[in-house]
Structure formats: C-alpha cells, structure tokens
Structure 1
Amino acid sequence: MSSNDIAITVQGVSKRFELYDKPSDRLKQFILPRLNRLTGKPPRDYFREFWALKDVSFDVRRGEAFAIVGRNGSGKSTLLQIITGTLSPTTGLVNTNGRVAALLELGSGFNPEFTGKENVFLNGALLGFSREEIEQKYDAIVGFADIGQHIDQPVKSYSSGMVVRLAIAVQTQVEPDILIVDEALAVGDALFQKRCYRQIEKLLNNGTTLLFVSHDQEIVRTLTQRAVFLNAGNAQKCGDTSDVLFAYREFLQQQEEAAFLDLQQRSQTILKAHSPQKSYGSREVEIQKVEVFDGRGSPQSVFYAGDEITLAVECVCNVDIDNLNVAFRIVSKEGIKVTTWGTLNEDMVRFESAPETAFWSRKFAKGDRFTVRFSGRCTLGANLYEVQAVVAREHDQYYGNQQVLHWVDDAGHFTVILKNKEYVFDGVCDLELRSELNVRVQHAEAQST
C-alpha cells in the first residue's frame, strides 16, 4: 500500500504525564534539578510518571471508517488530541494527510462571547476556509444545526445540545478529508443523532476518512470497518471491527466478573483461558452446543421467511446451581442486533401466577445436562444471521443483576430467503401487521343514485 493511500499514520506513539502530589512539588521540579546539575549532584524527580499511551501503532486508509474503543481512561481522547495536533507525543510519530475536522470536547473552538454565526466563520477560518467559501456553505450549516433564531445569539447562552448541533454542523458540512468524532453525538437527541449518522455515511461515500470514538458498540459495529482496542494506554487488539469488539466485550465481562466476585466476597474462581470459539465466562454452567432445527426437528441452515424454526441450547452444570437464565441473541451479517430472548423473559410472566413453573426457580445439581429449545415462526428478513448464546445466573427476577456463566459467539448460523411469489417483504423483519378494509357507504348519495 502506497503512502498516498494512508490518511492517518500512528507509529510507536507514547505519551507521558507528570503527576504531582502537591503544587510545591511542581515548583521544586522546575528549579531544583537544574541547581543539582550545576552543583554536580544527581537530579531528583518530584513527580510520578503516568503513561497515558504506550507504543501505539496503526494506519487508517483513505475513505476508511476506523474506531477507537476502550474504557474511560484507556487513552482514547489523549490519542485523538495527539492526532489532531493539540497535544504532542512524548515519543513516536503521527502523520495526517488532508484537512482535519475534529469534534472533541464540547464547544472546543467556539468563543462563548461570539454569536453562533460569528463562530461559524471563526471555525471555518480555523479549518482553512476563506470567508467566501464559508458564505457558500452557511445556509447548509445553519439548516443542519436547526437552532433557529439562536444563531444570532451568543454561544454562552446555548444549551449543551445546541452547542453540539452547531459544532457538528460546521465540521460535517465543510466536508473535511478526515473527520474525527469523540463521543460528541451522545449529547444530541435521538432525531439529531440519526441525521448526523446519515451525514457521516454521506461523507464516507464521498471519500472522507472517519476516526470514531464511542461507547455504543452497535454504532461502532455498523459505522466502521476496522478498530483498535485500547486498555491502559496499550493497543490490545487492532483489526476488523467485529473481532476487536469481541475482544473488548470479553475484557469488559472479565472486569464485571471480577467486581461481582469481590462483592460476593468470593476468594476463588476458575476462569478458563480464552477460547478460539469466542466464548467467555466463569463456566459454572457451560454451553455444550447450539443447534438450529426446522419445524420437523431436522438440523437446518436455510429457511424461508415464515418457516418454523427452533434454536436448541444444550448445557451442562459444573456446580449445584439455581436461578438460571438461558438466552440467545440473533445478529445480522451487518452486525445489527436483531433480537434477544431468554427463559427469564418468559419467567417474568409466570412469577406472579405460577412461580413454581418458572425455569428460574428450578434447581440443578452438579453434572446435570439439559437442553432449552426456543421455537416459533421465523419472520426475519432475507439475510445471513449469527446465533449468540448465553447462560447466566440472574440474582433478581428481572434483568438487573446478572452474572454471565458462559457466553458463546458464533454458536450457530442460518440464512433466511424469501418466496418471491408467495411471501415478500423488505427490511429487518415482518411485524405481521395486516390490512383490513372498512368501507362506509354514504347513504344520501346511495339513495339519490
């Protein structure tokens, strides 16, 4: 791949911050080491080192949508600031090819004393546009921001949502070569977020490179092709978005599991090594296999929309246990979570009328094997689907305090096709809303006729 195909290069980037216990230590660090060197004494540091980034490297191709994921404090925002040039790396190299527009901190680049209109021209100038060029784009910017007469009011009078609207409008309507977004869209309302994502997709189709940070894994999966997972400043994994998100989810699960065990004052747990089958959990109950059957009980991988389908989840208990929930998730090939369902969903209806019949109330002994079968009519749209399965211990009679015992990705796959002359619909699924004709005859017109 030639250098002209690369929009962003991050090579061996590390960033060190100096942490001081008290303000006087900062003054000592400024003065005393210099005096020590003059007098021939070994200098002493009055700070503690904190490495926000450690030897991070990756490339982003032109026109590519690339995500950075990780927990708060993992180094994502620091890395974005280095890429945009507002922060210098301690070691390493960053190179960007093209005009960069960044949405980092709320209201960054805005003068609160200026009106919205004045800030539009100010931001345009910072991005390298002339006043004439911004005037050509002004109506589109104001229309996208949709803040009405407030455009002529000082930005300091804006709500946080209005500031984000204006900032996003400027950065996206000027059609940058590289667009960097750091959680800015989380502040906007749902309707505005949808408009922003449509605009981002339009920019991507026009060749803009996107560097995207979000905690919303479904948006990351839908919007980006590749990603890097940061943890404590280290690049844990870099590659296809689906693989990176799995590694991230597995990491989060391990963190949650550790916290849960600590709360329960449990001193020991058996955690198996990462499985190549993409599974994780404490495995007090394990999923042995997941099978997909048709209406006759035969294994099947291709269904017509409208066919009967059964998902069978076979488990084995490694300890005496109760309060279980066996569930599945169906994900489309685009990574969209289509639906989830589990035994707890059905149990919540039973708890008041017949709690003894609930699956959650059943006690299992060590060595018990059981299979849960989910059956129904397949109303999914034509697509390829992945089945993910989970067995969890639910400490409440609703989804609120869950301990994942075993989660399996890629547990099964199936394809749905349509009978083009019998049963056709478009989209994710058929909601099975059907028409009914109700004709009302006008009596006066009928009599005159």
Structure 2
Amino acid sequence: MSSELPAISVQDVSKHFRVFAKPADRLKAAVRHRIGGLAKLVPARLLGTEGASEFHALQHVSFHVQKGETIGIIGRNGSGKSTLLQIICGTLTPSGGRVAINGRVAALLELGAGFNPEFTGRENVFMNAALLGLSKAQIEERLDAIFAFADIGDFVDQPVKTYSSGMYVRLAFAVIAHVDADVLVIDEALAVGDAFFTQKCMRFLRAFMERGTVLFVSHDTNAVVNLCTRVVWLDKGRVREIGPAKDVCDSYLEAFYEEQHRASGRSAHAPERSSVVRAIAEGDMRDQRALLVNASKLRNDVELFQFTADAKNFGLGGASIEHVGIEDGTGASLNWVVGGEIVCIRIAVKALQNLQRAIVGFIVRDRLGQNLFGDNTYLTTLNEPFAVAAGESFSVRFGFRMPVLPVGDYSVTVAVADGSQSDHVIHQWLHDAVLLKSHSTSVSTGLIGIPMHEIVLERDTLSEIGAAQ
C-alpha cells in the first residue's frame, strides 16, 4: 500500500435526519430551536415534540480511496449513496465522523445540483468553475474548450431552466472536465444524454482514470465491474462489504435475487426437468425461439443510423475511412435489424500512402464505452498480407449474426492500421462511426444475448428415477 495520504478518507461517518409526521411538527421544532430556553415558557401543547423521529441515513461508514484508484459505490435506493457523496463533496455536514480530501474535487451529482436555473449556461460555467477553484482568467482561457465539449450551441446564453436533462449534463460534465480536478465524483448522471456525448464522457473518464481518482456511483453493476478496481456496498446506511469489484457486485446481485425470491415465495429447489423439446430443424442453425419472439413484442428491434464521417478520430493519416454501413446479405443498406439476423458491416477505406499490411477492424460498444464484440482482418490475411498502394480504395465486409441487445444506445468504432496484431501503426481510428439504438429486447442476459442453436429440456421417466435410487 502506498505511504502517501489517501485521496479520500472516510472515517466513522454517520448522518441522521429528523423526520416529522406532519409539517406542523417541523415548524414547532424550528421555533423551539430558535427561542432556546424560552421554549419552557410556552405551553407544551403548542411546542410539543410529538411526531419527530430520527432516520439514520449513514451509520459508521469508513473506507479509504488511494490516489489513482477508481472506486465504485453500489446499493439499492435509500442505502445512503447520494448522502455519502454529498458529505464527501462538502455539500452536507455529517452528524458524526470525518472526511478528509487530498486534492481538488469535481462532482457531477444529481441533475440540478450546482447550477442556478435562473442564470444562463455561460454564467453558470463561470460560477461553477470558480467554486471549483479556477480564477476568472483561467475560466476565460478554457471557455471555448468547455463550450466545444458541451456542444449545446446558442443555448449557452439561455437560462439553464430552459435546458433538457441531457443539455444540463453536457454543460456540467464539460465544466468538470476542464477544472484540473484530482478527484472526480460521478453519481448516475451519465444515465441521461445521447449516445455520442455519453461515449465522449466515457473516453474522458477512462483517460482521467490513468492519472486521477474516481468515485463512481451506479446501479449498473456491469459498468461498475468494467470501470472500478474496488467497490463499497452500502446497505441501509452501513457498509456491508468492501472488496474487488467483481466479488462485491456478485455478492450484491446474489443478495438482491435472494430477497426477490423470498418476497415472491419461490422455492429454492431446482425444478424438475421437462420432456425433450427440440424445435430446431435439421441443418437449420437459427435460434429456435426466433419465430415466437419475432412475432411478439419481445422482438429485438435495433435501429441503425447513418455513417458519421466527421466523428471524433485520430491517427497518422496514411489511410481514410470513407464509409461504414450495415447491410444485409445482398449488400443492401439497412435502417433496422432484428437481433439474431445475419448482417454485414462494410467498411470502405482509401489508402493515402502505401500500406504494406493493411488491417481493418471494428468494435461495438455500449453507452458506457464497454467493448461488447468486434473483430479485425489480421488473421484473415496472416499468410497473405493485404498490400495497398497509395490512392487505391478497398472495402472490408464482416458478416455475423447480430446479437440480442438490451434496450439502449450502442456505437460502432472502426479503425484502419498497417502492421501486425501486436506491432502496428493506426492511420485512422474513428469513434462512433455508426450509432445503433435497441428499442426492445427478448431473451438477452448480460451485456448482450446470443442466438441459441439448441435448447433441450429432458424429463426423467419414473423407471429411470427408480433405477437411479
């Protein structure tokens, strides 16, 4: 463990709130506190204490976050996550314990926090960045970069109260991305906003993780496992478990499902195996549930958007990606696809210099930037390198069966390089070249679902059961 001071130290933190049964009880308590010792001169029936109780939002919470760590905080609604973050950020005072922060903290908490709705976006940027430690000169120097990152156009000079939730998050994230923070605190805010901006935020977040400390709160355990090294699990205001991200998230999900089973009264015993069901035709490798699913509301409809030629990109510039499209087996461009169908991703490239061993690939990512699946041409051309002369154009087609995608936004990132799998130069890497939006889902479990070639249920006969006994 490093000998330097932790970035965040939470020691025995508790937070209690007084809860009143009626608004009148709250008023009485406020008056009683205001007049102090004079309260005993007032009849008890007027300033009674009835109706007041104490809610323990946090109870003796302790943990440390080392510099450079990315820590996740998980827990069900009401477990104390947001309260803890507000205490760490200094917007709420703990009832007991202490929090120590080493470095500048920038936070993206619930929508509306930190911005005055009556002020314009520009005014809020100056106010918010100043609160985060920037001078007026520093803010003015970075203003263009902040507005470019937010990309909300003329709305920067409109009152924030006219913003959509997505526009608010754009501006708020743009500010914290330009204040040279040492610690980032993010509370579910990336759950809103369009796919392009979410991907941009995730790229910034992953780059920040290489040099800074991140406290990440989410109900999405897949995102937590993907981003975080350790996780703090809060349960009813207490720390239930701290440890490696995967271990804690597994325990959290197990506890959640156990509670669901108890609530529904389901038996923990495994169900009996049913009779053999084979719905797959000889030689037909379709998902055997496809006809049933596609005829129902469970069908996984995926909307496809047009190629974005001016998407964010980088590379040496020795080749240019001219087009990316998703097609059917005949080469016709698609606007929609159903999970389980065979599709092709076609990538058109123009060589701007000689390529000795061209490699083209793609990655499909979810809205958090997690790599779901992808491939490249390296192994296909392993024995016969694909050389391209300057000025020549070529295209690559990747054919596959579209996975079943949970509801949400996805993107296809593509790249062209020259070299080998382990030693190559990237000529162009194009983020978010094509967007996909899944409008419905069926049998997907996990980050994506795959079409099943065969599912078999078998029932043991009585004679077989007797013989086994």
Q: TM-score, normalised by structure 1?
A: 0.59
Provide the C-alpha distance between the structure 2 equivalents of 1:324 and 1:132, rounded to a whole number of angstroms: 74
- The answer on 1:101 being equivalent to 2:80 is no
Deviations 1:141-192 (A, max 9, x none): 1111011121122212211111110000001122301110001111111221
- Corresponding residue number in structure 2 for 1:68: 73
Asked if 1:18 corresponds to 2:18, the answer is yes
1:155 matched residue in structure 2: 160
* Cα contact 2:11–2:98 (8 A) shared by 1: yes
Question: 1 or 2, which has the higher helix percentage?
Answer: 1
Deviation digits for residues 380-432 of structure 1, max 9, x if unmatched?
A: xxxxxxxxxxxxxxxxxxxxxxxxxxxxxxxxxxxxxx8994699xxxxx954
CA pair 49-173 structure 1, distance change in 2 beyond 3 A? same
* 2: CA distance, partners of 1:252 / 1:245: 10
Flag the 1:420–1:245 CA change in 2: closer, same or farther, 3 A.
Answer: farther
Give 5+ residue unaligned stretches, structure 1.
270-281, 286-318, 326-344, 353-417, 425-429, 434-449
- Specify the code of the residue in structure 2 equivalent to 1:221: V
- Taking the TM superposition and a 5 Å limit, the aligned residue runs for 1:7-406 are 7-30=7-30, 46-205=51-210, 207-261=211-265, 269=267, 282=268, 284-285=269-270, 320=272, 322=274, 346-349=287-290
The code of the aligned residue for 2:133 comes to G
Name the residue aligned to 2:443. none
Alignment partners' CA distance in 2, 1:108 and 1:154: 15
Provide the C-alpha distance between the structure 2 equivalents of 1:324 and 1:111, rounded to a whole number of angstroms.
Answer: 64
**Matches of 1:101 and 1:20, distance apart in 2:** 33
CA distance in 2, matches of 1:422, 1:92: 65
Residues 320 and 176 from structure 1, CA distance in 2 versus in 1: closer, same or farther, beyond 3 angstroms? same
Question: 1:114 offset after TM fit, Å?
Answer: 1.9
Partner residue, 1:293: none
Gaps of at least 5 residues in structure 2 are 278-285, 294-378, 386-396, 401-469
Query: Contact 1:107/1:167 (CA < 8 Å) preserved in 2?
Result: no
How far does residue 49 in structure 1 lie from its aligned partner after superposition? Answer: 1.4
SS in structure 1 opposite 2:115?
coil
Cα deviation code 1:314-347 (max 9, x no counterpart): xxxxx5465999xxxxxxxxxxxxxxxxxxx945
Deviation sequence 1:258-289 (CA, Å, 0-9, x none): 2332xxxx6xx4xxxxxxxxxxxx2x22xxxx
CA distance in 1, matches of 2:290, 2:24: 63
Distance 2:206 2:258 in 1: 34
The size of the alignment, in residue pairs, is: 292
CA positional deviation for 1:351: 5.7
Deviation at 1:25, TM superposition (A): 2.1
Alignment RMSD? 3.4
- The answer to whether the Cα contact below 8 Å between 1:10 and 1:95 also exists between their aligned partners in 2 is yes
AA at the equivalent of 1:191: F
> Which amino acid counterpart does residue 348 of structure 1 have in structure 2?
R
Cα distance in 1, alignment partners of residues 139 and 212 from structure 2: 19
Give the conservation status (yes or no) of the 8 Å contact 2:5–2:102. no
- CA deviations 1:32-87 (Å, max 9, x no partner) are 69669969x9x967411111111111100101111100111110000000101111
Taking structure 1 as reference, are residues 32 and 119 closer, same or farther at Cα in structure 2, changes over 3 Å only? closer
Amino acid in the other structure paired with 1:241? A
Instruction: Describe the superposition over 1:86-108 as per-residue Cα deviations: whole angstroms up to 9, x where unpaired.
Output: 11111111111111111112132
Q: What CA distance in whole angstroms lies between the structure 2 residues aligned with 1:127 and 1:156?
A: 22
